[in-house]
């Protein structure tokens, strides 16, 4: 049906009106929306002008301008917010960097790993406390061949087998010994099943043979069930014929057992070894039966002139009748101390008629092992040093089955004790000590001897100067401690990076001296909490710790602490020259004049009241400071006797008080009295 012309016109007009309304509505909406955007843009500008960059970034984020928001957040150092925005933009590498700056390790680590920055991922994972995260850190370190860091983490988590694999990557003596310790710990772990335990003991035995640790190799073969191989080592390497005879009998090698029993003088010669074996296997009843049955024949056997005598202090190691005895050479006068290297006695050398400090090597250093040979070689090298600044080694040898070192007996106080008792040393006194140590080290380096273990505990201040102790012994004993724990678990705070991989030279001593002098003057170790100087990329300088320290001295100490040895002073001679120049500069400086007390204006009173003399407070004794050391640190250095405190320095009114940038005071635990000075580690951040 056709519509009238009037209706068509009305419909057309209505359509035009609707279209116009739509256009107008859209224009109005756009105007209103633009107004809001203009308002937000004005707010952003106002926030930036006011310095509130965080608010400006929030506004840009609300507007959906992610790129602009991330830039503003970065300017504002709002790294966590910047990281979140960059992650939304898919910029994972940049987001990881921002999360790292914000110390949000949990978010930074997976992004670093995703973008291929495995080392950074490992560093971030290592700073987290959870076991899964720390395992990821170790895996990442292993992937980038940072086996030492990975091994430490596995060790902390008691993943001893994996820790051993990491430490075994290094072919130096210390690392192989630590790897062996990790395998032993893994085999002894309760969670290890029998078959796995046997496999681990076999690996430990092979590594011990490679290391030359015969005693540990014999034990490992025995634990692995290879009793005959263990007996062979006891016979041929350790010369413990009685133990070898017992093990040969257990292994079914009757002829070998009878041969040794005959050589030892009869069955009674292996009685103690058999009982020790029974006790170790938990056969208490057998032990008592053996004691009762063999008691009659023991006396007769011991009267045989040809019988082998086994010293009581070295059970199982045969000794020759008539061999030199300890009491024939030395008279022990009292114990001076105990530490990771053994017991130190005050003694009199009966042959030479002089008093000495007598140190006995721990029994767990196997006779004839690589460690044993290195000990004697390096101890004799130290004995060749004759210098007033070095504690003299008189003799090294073995008496009565015990390894000993006879040293000069020195009265004084070690620098670590000075730090504990009196706190940081004033700059002038520290420079005097530094010069004395450097003079001694200059002589030692000229004689081609490297100390390898310079630290406050090995420097003793005496009435006449300073003495350097324990030369050349650190590399031998640093891989073991009397507690049986691995040394590498603690942080070696005075050790440069290259020494951790067995590549020490004379510049390693320069680093250790830098760390020692830093601690001596500031009272704290160089580095950051949980991150010593040999790892930390940046930390406060000595002058930042103690503002009164001369800038040149601070710069010298920090150069000594460079992680790259090529950036350090290349010898102690150059360090000594600068120390002497700094001392001369300080001596030439005019003394700071006393500041006069302000006087009150004259009054009309006939007799003004007298002002009391200002009370001068005695400087407070600094509480002991927490410091770090390896577990093998010896609390009984050569010649430490009744400690004589160094002469107190005269109070100088120009000297500023101790810098407040100190570590918290060390707790004085009476339970620790008489124990080795094992310092507690700084709480780790990782």
Report the C-alpha gap between 470 and 451 in whole angstroms: 8
CB atoms within 10 A of CB 203: 20
CA–CA–CA angle 156, 160, 162 (5° rounding)? 105
Where are the domains positioned within the chain? 13-102, 125-287+308-314, 330-588+623-665
**Does residue 222 have an active-site annotation?**
no
| Fold match between domain 13-102 and domain 125-287+308-314 | yes
CB 132 within 8 A of CB 124: no
- Decide if domain 125-287+308-314 falls under CATH 3.30.70: no
Residue 83: per-residue pLDDT? 93
Q: Coil, helix or strand for 172?
A: coil
CB 59 within 8 A of CB 40: yes
CA–CA–CA angle 183, 189, 195 (5° rounding)? 75
Residue 662: per-residue pLDDT? 36
Look up the CATH superfamily of 13-102: Tetratricopeptide repeat domain (1.25.40.10)
CB 498 within 8 A of CB 435: no
Dihedral, 514, 519, 525, 527 alpha carbons, nearest 10: -50
Mean pLDDT by 10 residues, the chain (686 residues): 69 84 80 69 84 87 87 91 92 94 93 94 92 93 89 83 82 72 76 78 86 83 90 86 89 89 84 71 45 39 33 38 65 72 77 81 65 65 78 78 80 86 88 90 84 84 86 47 35 71 78 90 80 72 88 91 87 89 82 47 45 41 41 43 38 37 37 38 39
Residue 143: per-residue pLDDT? 92
Which run of H or E residues covers position 13?
Answer: helix 5-49
Q: Coil, helix or strand for 338?
A: strand
Which member of 97, 453, 509, 686 is catalytic?
453
Q: How many angstroms from the chain centroid is the CA of residue 654?
A: 37
CB 138 within 8 A of CB 154: yes
Report the C-alpha gap between 234 and 224 in whole angstroms: 15
Cα–Cα distances in Å, from 59 out to 42, 78, 184, 605?
10, 14, 61, 70
CB 179 within 8 A of CB 154: no
**Biggest CA pair distance of the chain:** 148
330-588+623-665: CATH architecture: Orthogonal Bundle (1.10)
Report the C-alpha gap between 69 and 357 in whole angstroms: 71
Q: Shortest CA distance to 517 belongs to which of 486, 548, 553?
A: 553
Q: Shortest CA distance to 677 belongs to which of 384, 457, 488?
A: 457
């Amino acid at each position: 049906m056709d519509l009238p012309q009037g209706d068509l016109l009305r419909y057309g007009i209505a359509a035009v009106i609707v279209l116009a309304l739509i256009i107008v509505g859209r224009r109005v909406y756009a105007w209103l929306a633009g107004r809001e955007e203009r308002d937000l843009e004005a707010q952003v500008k106002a926030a930036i002008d006011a310095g509130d960059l965080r608010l400006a970034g929030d506004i840009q984020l609300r507007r959906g301008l992610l790129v602009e928001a991330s830039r503003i957040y970065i300017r504002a150092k709002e790294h966590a917010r910047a990281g979140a925005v960059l992650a939304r933009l898919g910029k994972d590498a940049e987001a990881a960097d921002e999360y790292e700056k914000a110390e949000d390790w949990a978010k930074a680590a997976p992004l670093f790993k995703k973008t291929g920055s495995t080392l950074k991922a490992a560093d971030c994972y290592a700073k987290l406390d959870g076991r899964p995260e720390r395992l990821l850190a170790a895996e990442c370190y292993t992937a980038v061949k940072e086996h030492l860091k990975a091994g430490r983490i596995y060790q902390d988590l008691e993943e001893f087998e994996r820790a051993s694999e990491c430490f075994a990557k290094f072919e130096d003596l210390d690392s192989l010994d630590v790897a062996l310790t990790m395998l032993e710990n893994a085999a002894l772990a309760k969670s290890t099943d029998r078959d796995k335990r046997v496999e681990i003991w076999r690996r430990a035995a092979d590594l011990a043979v490679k290391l030359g640790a015969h005693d540990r190799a014999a034990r490992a073969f025995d634990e692995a069930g290879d009793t005959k191989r263990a007996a062979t080592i006891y016979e041929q390497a350790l010369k413990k014929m009685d133990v070898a005879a017992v093990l040969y009998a257990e292994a079914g090698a009757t002829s070998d057992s009878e041969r040794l029993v005959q050589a030892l003088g009869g069955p009674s010669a292996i009685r103690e070894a058999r009982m020790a074996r029974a006790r170790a296997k938990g056969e208490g009843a057998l032990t008592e039966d053996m004691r009762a049955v063999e008691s009659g024949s023991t006396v007769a056997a011991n009267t045989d002139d040809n019988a082998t005598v086994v010293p009581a202090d070295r059970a199982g190691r045969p000794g020759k009748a008539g061999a030199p005895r300890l009491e024939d050479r030395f008279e022990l006068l009292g114990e001076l101390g105990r530490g990771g290297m053994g017991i130190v006695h005050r003694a009199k050398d009966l042959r030479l008629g002089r008093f000495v400090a007598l140190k006995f090597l721990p029994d767990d250093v196997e006779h004839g092992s690589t460690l044993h040979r290195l000990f004697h070689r390096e101890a004799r090298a130290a004995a060749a040093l004759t210098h007033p600044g070095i504690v003299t080694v008189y003799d090294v040898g073995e008496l009565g089955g015990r390894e000993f070192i006879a040293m000069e007996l020195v009265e004084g106080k070690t620098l670590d004790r000075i730090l504990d008792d009196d706190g940081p040393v004033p700059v002038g006194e520290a420079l005097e000590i530094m010069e004395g140590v450097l003079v001694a080290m200059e002589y030692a380096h000229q004689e081609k001897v490297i100390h390898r273990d310079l630290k406050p505990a090995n420097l003793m201040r005496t009435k006449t100067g300073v003495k350097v102790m324990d030369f050349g012994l650190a590399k031998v004993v640093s891989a073991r401690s009397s507690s049986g724990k691995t040394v590498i678990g603690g942080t070696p705070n005075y050790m440069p990076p290259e020494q951790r991989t067995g590549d020490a030279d004379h510049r390693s001593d320069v680093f250790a001296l830098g760390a020692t002098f830093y601690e001596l003057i500031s009272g704290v170790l160089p580095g950051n909490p949980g991150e010593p100087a040999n790892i930390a990329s940046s930390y406060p300088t000595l002058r930042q710790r103690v503002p009164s320290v001369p800038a040149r001295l601070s710069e010298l100490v920090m150069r000594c602490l460079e992680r790259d040895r090529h950036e350090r002073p290349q010898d102690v001679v150059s360090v000594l020259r600068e120390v002497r120049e700094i001392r001369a500069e300080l001596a030439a400086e005019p003394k700071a004049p006393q500041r006069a007390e302000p006087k009150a204006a004259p009054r009309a009173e006939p007799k003004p009241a007298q002002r009391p003399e200002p009370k001068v407070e005695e400087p407070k004794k600094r509480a002991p400071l927490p410091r770090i050391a390896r577990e093998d640190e010896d609390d009984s250095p050569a010649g430490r006797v009744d400690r004589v405190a160094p002469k107190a320095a005269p109070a100088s009114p120009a000297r500023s008080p101790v810098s407040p940038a100190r570590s918290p005071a060390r707790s004085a635990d009476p339970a620790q009295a008489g124990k080795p000075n094992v310092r507690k580690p700084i709480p780790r951040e990782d």
